[in-house]
Amino acid sequence: MKKILFLIFFFACSASFAQVKLNVDASLNNLLRYGNGYEYTGTNKKAKEYFENLTDGRININNVILGFRYEISEPIEYGRNFKGIRKRFAEYNNNDIGVSLRAGDYWDIISRGMTLNVFEDRTLGYDTGIDGVRVSYKKTFGQKNPFKLKAQFLGGDMEYSDYLNPTRIETYKVRDANVEISPWKNFTLGTNYVFAKGKIPNSADTTNIKAELPEVYLGFSFKDFTFYTSYAHKNIISEPNNNPNYVGFSSQGDGIYSSLSYAKSGLGITLDYKNYRFDLTGPDNRASDRPTKLLPFQNPPTAQKEHTSTLISRNPHVTNFNDEVGGQLEIVYVPSDKLSFTVNLGVASEHYQYRDVDTTAVINYQRVARDNSFLPEISNEAFNPFWEYFVETEYYTSERVRTKLAFSRQSSVIYNQINPSASEKILTSTIPLEVKYEMDNGYALKINLEQQWEYNSIRTGEKNFMNQFVSLNLTKSPNLGFTVNGEFTNDKEEPTGKSSWFLGEIIYKLNQKNQVTFSYGSERGGLKCTNGICRYVNPFEGFRAAIQTSF
């Protein structure tokens, strides 16, 4: 049926230019990735090899775009092996009347992603793309006092492979309607509604759900200020399954995200606030496969700083979209063209703490009421608090030399409800330094030095240890790049038992559209995050290659 609809869409669009001179434009992009070496799970070392080739092609014929992706992932680095046409689509755009039609595979985000944000990240093995139809209309009425209207309707099927457990597949039928108006300059008001039916498997059974997610949002700017806010509600009806003890139920949740920014010459201030209550549950009901959790096609803003420093990123705060309140304040001050300062303060916690009110061996958690649940609680470990402050300065000592120095202090707690004294408390202090020197004949040298002091309460021996990271990067514009880095630790309880990792990488650009990358050495691994999605990447040592080509 989908193939028939796809062909009908193609021929219908083709008819619009059957008697018109054809303007044809085509492109082809190919990415080949190969790795061969060893992967560590603790101290266990096993062989690992992957081979992935992605070919993305598209052809544009008089505003009709046909595209496809042919994939060979045997074996894949993360996820499930696949060989064949992974993505295909047909799209028609008419800017004169403001209409866009697409049939096939697509990704999209509505506003800031509170109710719909589907995307792909191959490095994490994450893909929430939708296979279906999307219709968009965008038009501006009037010239003196323009009125802008945007409407979009989409529907399709989504197959979500749990990136932590790729064999567990959730399927959804998603329908979305979005309307956005701008009756005045610099003012936008919008609403979005998502209806979905899903099948969520767990170890015992598969649960069918129905979900409704209405959202309203607005944004405006006035002089030097910009404001945005969004409120989303989530209602899930979980149907009975084959388990006779499971009769089904309904669950309510909601979320608020707001951002206020001020920008003046040489000064920028941004304040983000999040209050995500999409699934408030007790400590004994937080499995990742529960039917009431945040749905995979949702991905709200994290409202926290994303770091580029290697060591700061080793212990990222994983945003709990189901139950988290907090935000961040960032100030950027630029007193001159040569000097800039950045200060970032971030806090987050859960809304409530829980107590076992059953005096028998049965655990019965009860929420402890709190009047100020709209504010984060960072003084009580039972709230799993997180806080961070980050200061950075960048200075151009000359036209050829740039330096960047920062300091980060982070604190996080993973609370153990059964045995609070065994809760994991991590406190890190990190100093990253970057120096870049531009030489003659297109050469540039960049040095990164990072020093980190870490305290981890669950270490059985010495709880304080240090990490160091050193990177040397030499480039010859525009074709060649060479990098060598090393990472060191004196942590006696490092899971792999190692104390150092070394990696070398070469990047060579044949031209602007073709590039090859080779690397060899060892990588420490750890948590990697994108847009609030985090997965643990096992340490790896061996050879990697990537070839990117465009035609």
> Do residues 424 and 455 make contact, with C-beta atoms less than 8 angstroms apart?
no
Residue 263 pLDDT class (50, 70, 90 cuts):
very high
3-state SS, residue 80:
coil
Q: How far apart are CA 132 and CA 66, in angstroms?
A: 15
Whole-angstrom distance, CA of residue 471 vs CA of residue 483: 7
pLDDT higher than 90, residue 360? no
The answer for residues whose C-beta is within 8 angstroms of residue 115's C-beta and 6 or more apart is 176, 192, 193, 194, 213, 214, 215, 232, 298
Mean pLDDT, range 337-349, rounded to an integer:
97
pLDDT at 404: 97
The predicted structure's pLDDT at residue 443: 95
pLDDT attached to residue 6? 54
State residue 287's pLDDT score.
Answer: 87
Supply the pLDDT for residue 245.
72
Q: What is the pLDDT of residues 399-423, one digit of tens each?
A: 999 999 999 999 999 999 989 999 9
Quick check: 252 and 107 in contact, CB under 8 A?
A: no
Cα(389)–Cα(378) distance, integer angstroms: 14
pLDDT at 330 over 70: yes
What's the pLDDT tens digit per position in 496-541?
Answer: 999 999 999 999 998 888 999 999 999 998 888 888 888 888 999 9
**Residue 361 pLDDT grade (very low, low, confident, very high; cuts 50, 70, 90):** confident
pLDDT class of 10 with cuts at 50, 70, 90: low
What is the helix, strand, coil percentage profile of the chain, to 5? 5, 60, 35
Which residue has 């985000």 as its token pair? 109
Check whether 131 has a pLDDT greater than 90.
Answer: yes
Burial level of 141, CB count in 10 A (0-12/13-18/19+)?
Answer: exposed
Band (pLDDT 50/70/90 cuts) for residue 143 is confident
Q: β-pairing, 206-222 with 339-349?
A: unpaired
* Residue 478 preceded by cis peptide, ω within 30: yes
Mean pLDDT of all residues belonging to the chain: 92
pLDDT tens readout for residues 106-121 = 999 999 999 999 999 9
pLDDT single digits (tens) 14-56 = 545 555 678 899 999 999 999 999 999 888 999 999 999 999 9
Of 325, 250, 320, nearest to 292 (Cα)? 250
pLDDT per residue as tens digits for the range 171-183: 999 999 999 999 9
What is the distance between the alpha carbons of residues 315 and 324, in angstroms, rounded to a whole number? Answer: 18
Beta bridge partners of 227: 220, 260
Residue 299: Cβ within 10 Å count: 23
Burial class (CB in 10 A: 0-12, 13-18, 19+), 461: exposed
Strand, coil or helix: 4: helix
Question: What band does 326 get if pLDDT is binned at 50, 70 and 90?
Answer: very high
Spatial neighbors of 52 by CB under 8 A, at least 6 apart, are 31, 32, 33, 34, 71, 72, 73, 76, 77
- pLDDT tens digits, one per residue of 473-489: 999 999 999 999 999 99
pLDDT at 3 over 60: no
What is the mean predicted confidence (pLDDT) over 372-395?
A: 97
At residue 5, does pLDDT exceed 60? no
CA distance 33 to 53: 6
The mean per-residue pLDDT over the stretch 380-409 comes to 97
pLDDT in tens, 217-260: 999 999 999 999 999 999 999 988 777 777 778 899 999 999 99
Q: pLDDT-derived band of residue 92, with 50, 70 and 90 as boundaries?
A: very high
What CA–CA distances, in Å, run from 375 to 6, 317, 351, 372, 383? 49, 18, 8, 6, 12
Please say if the pLDDT value at position 453 is more than 60.
yes
According to the model, what pLDDT value does residue 153 have?
A: 98
Check residue 525 and give left, alpha or beta (phi > 0: left; psi -120 to 50: alpha): left
Q: Is 388 exposed, middle or buried (0-12, 13-18, 19+ CB in 10 A)?
A: buried
DSSP state of 12: H
b/e map of 229-257 (b: 16 or more CB within 10 Å)?
bbbbbbebebeebeeeeeeeeebebbbbb
Query: Where does the pLDDT of residue 13 fall: very low under 50, low under 70, confident under 90, or very high at 90 and above?
Result: low
